[in-house]
Homo-oligomer: A and B are copies of this chain.
């Protein structure tokens, strides 16, 4: 079985576009979020900051449809290949990883 050993009894979930293989985002899933994801086919996360389950896309309608799920060797991370129904990032970018690390290194904050 999975090892929900991360914060708030979660696994790390990586979303990857099932066609382009672009990595779209990373989030946490507890057991309930995983069950909702498996039973509905829509990606759900556990929000570490808001302490609640969220259906990814519940506001934007940019739902993430599950195509395939893979498990890592120590069973504390999963890779979900998805069909995104719109930009995955809340900024409107296709992926949350839209910034190069140089953007960070060169920023003043």
Contacts and interface: CB of A to CB of B under 8 A. Distances in A.
Given A96-B72, A97-B70, A26 B90 contact: no
B104 A75 contact: yes
A16 interface: yes
Contacts of A5: 48
Contacts of A71: 97, 99-101, 103-104
A12 interface: yes
Contacts of A55: none
Contact of A73 (B2, B73, B91, B101): B91
Interface in A1-40: 1-2, 5-7, 12, 14, 16, 20-23, 25-26
5 contacts: A6-B7, A12-B12, A14-B23, A70-B101, A78-B101
Given A21-B21, A69-B101, A70-B101, 20 more contacts: A1-B104, A1-B107, A6-B7, A12-B26, A14-B23, A16-B23, A23-B79, A25-B72, A25-B77, A68-B100, A70-B98, A70-B100, A71-B99, A71-B100, A72-B96, A72-B97, A73-B91, A75-B104, A77-B96, A77-B97
